[in-house]
């Protein structure tokens, strides 16, 4: 049986001031007995790796070289988390680029890699998705045929959870 995992992604330029938030979320996830999966980039990924030294790290170098390796790495991370029945959490600084939409396979227009592409793949695969808006001001989140609900308590307190439209009706 596969252990349930929470995957993490986020901005490579996430300010150091968000490191305590990332550490708190990672710690809460681990306290709930869930495993941590993360990429190999700087920024948010680095903060997660620091907070969870035993995390499963997906390295782009395992998928070749160039931008395509990062996209393949991110897709593998999301698919592994999906296979565990887990969730994907993103720490984002910018709005979702146009053309990045949920899908069951990696396809994100002119942005082949990045946090929003990973989050879109997760939504397309039916994972629970949480986003921390790491910028001052109102969060700018994509519609994606659903809604974003503020999380008030638990490991993802302060995040927005994506709720697909068909679930929002019930």
- Burial degree of 81 (CB within 10 A; 0-12, 13-18, 19+): buried
Longest dimension (CA), the chain: 45
For the chain, the helix, strand and coil percentages under 3-state DSSP, each to the nearest 5 = 35, 20, 45
Label residue 21 by pLDDT band (50, 70, 90). very high
- What are the tens digits of pLDDT across the range 34-92? 999 999 999 999 999 999 999 999 999 999 988 788 889 999 999 999 999 999 999 99
Q: What percent of the chain has pLDDT over 90?
A: 78
**Could you give the CA distance from residue 53 to residue 95 in angstroms, rounded to a whole number?**
30
Q: Is the pTM here over 0.85, yes or no?
A: yes
Higher pLDDT, 99 or 88: 88
Tokens of 13: 């330029």
Q: Indicate the average pLDDT of the chain.
A: 91
Domains and CATH numbers, the chain: 5-168 (3.40.50.450)
Task: Give the pLDDT confidence score for residue 104 in this predicted structure.
Answer: 83
- What are the tens digits of pLDDT across the range 25-34? 999 999 999 9
Do residues 78 and 121 make contact, with C-beta atoms less than 8 angstroms apart? Answer: yes
Task: Give the pLDDT confidence score for residue 169 in this predicted structure.
Answer: 45
Question: 114, 119, 60, 59: which is closest to 89 by C-alpha?
Answer: 119
């Amino acid at each position: 049986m596969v252990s349930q995992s929470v995957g993490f992604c986020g901005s490579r330029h996430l300010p150091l001031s968000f490191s305590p938030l990332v550490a708190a979320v990672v710690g809460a996830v681990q306290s709930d007995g869930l495993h941590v999966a993360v990429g190999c980039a700087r920024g948010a990924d680095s903060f997660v790796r620091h907070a969870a030294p035993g995390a499963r790290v997906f390295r782009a170098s395992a998928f070749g070289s160039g931008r395509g390796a990062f996209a393949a790495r991110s897709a593998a991370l999301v698919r592994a988390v999906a296979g565990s029945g887990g969730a994907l959490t993103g720490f984002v600084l910018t709005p979702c680029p146009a053309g990045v939409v949920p899908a069951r396979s990696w396809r994100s227009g002119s942005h082949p890699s990045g946090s929003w592409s990973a989050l879109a793949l997760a939504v397309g695969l039916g994972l629970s998705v949480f986003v921390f808006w790491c910028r001052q001001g109102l969060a700018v989140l994509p519609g994606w045929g659903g809604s974003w609900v503020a999380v008030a308590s638990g490991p993802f307190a302060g995040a927005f959870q994506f709720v697909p439209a068909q679930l929002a009706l019930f």
